[in-house]
Amino acid sequence: MNKKRIAAGLLTACIITFLFFPSSSRSALGPPFSSDARKASVPLHHYDPGIKTVIGAPERYLIKNKDTFLDIARHYRLGFNEMEALHPDLDPWIPPAGVWLVLPTHWVLPGSLDKGIIINSAELRLYYFMKAGVDHVVKTFPVGIGDTDWPTPLGEFKVGEKRKDPAWYVPPSLREKYRVDVIPPGPENPLGKYWIRLGNSSYGMHGTDIPWSVGRLVTHGCIRLYPEDIKHLFREVQPGTPVKIIYEPVKLGVLAGRVYAEVHGDIYRMIDDFVEYGYRRLQEEGVAEKVDMEKFREVLKRKNGMPVDVSLKEQKP
């Protein structure tokens, strides 16, 4: 399904603009999840900068009758894009029951911080770094971001104001079109129950009344999370926390002395020569001499978002 068509049918839960859907449309298209069907706790991943920068591990899931990629993605805290990229040959709306799926619950870290947030818009994923004593730990969440006409801005920010049950104030330029000045807190509010502003900008991280839009290019620049994930992040992150938004479709990490590459598509079409960009990333990370170039070229071609060991055969841990 064309992303433009999907974006046109989704609510753009950003403070700039949004589209209305009747409630019946949302309930019909959204995944039928109950609160006890979701994973209750957010996985906490330990890592050691420079030694271990690959977290998680692939999981397996047996498709059940009436499952969709939306159902499976939300249950495992994945975005729709991650499921679709890894399994392009399956129908995401009617995947075949009884088939085992590999789930992309495995990630190369896009850098690291002692404390703060990195959002890699190229993979539609947020990483929240913190310290637990002497340990480095990270939590990670899928996100929805700006579409190709309104891309999520890159740069460095700090967490600004935090609001629970925010109202959405429609910009003057859109009031005539939508015939409304403000959307009060409640189930129809496109910001969801929580809003975290990025500095003094008009952008923020927030929830959504359409959870199935996470993992898509649907907003006008804001970063949207599943309702249960923004609730967790809202509780933990404090004003002044650093936030970096980057665009890194090729990530390189280390696990047990081996080099791993994780490659995503160039969703914003910012890269003229993707292969040259990939080789440049090898040089930037200082791992070119440790990598099997044939393996690396294949990973660049697939762009399925899964970390792959691209080390030379003779390389020892």
CB 126 within 8 A of CB 140: yes
Q: What distance in Å separates the CA atoms of residue 84 and residue 186, rounded to the nearest whole number?
A: 31
Q: Which of 206, 220, 232, 264 is catalytic?
A: 206
Examine the residue annotation and report whether 14 is marked as an active-site residue of this protein. Answer: no
Token digits of residue 231: 């609730």
Token digits of residue 292: 């099997």
CB 222 within 8 A of CB 186: no
Nearest to 261 by CA among 294, 299, 288, 297: 299
Count the Cβ atoms, other than its own, within 10 Å of residue 242: 15
Output the furthest CA–CA distance in the chain (Å, rounded).
66
Examine the residue annotation and report whether 220 is marked as an active-site residue of this protein. Answer: no
Residues 269-276: contacts with CB within 8 Å, 24+ apart?
A: 269/148, 274/249, 274/300, 275/300
Q: What distance in Å separates the CA atoms of residue 305 and residue 289, rounded to the nearest whole number?
A: 23
Token digits of residue 237: 């992150």
Q: Which of 136, 222, 232, 264 is catalytic?
A: 222
Catalytic residue numbers?
A: 206, 222
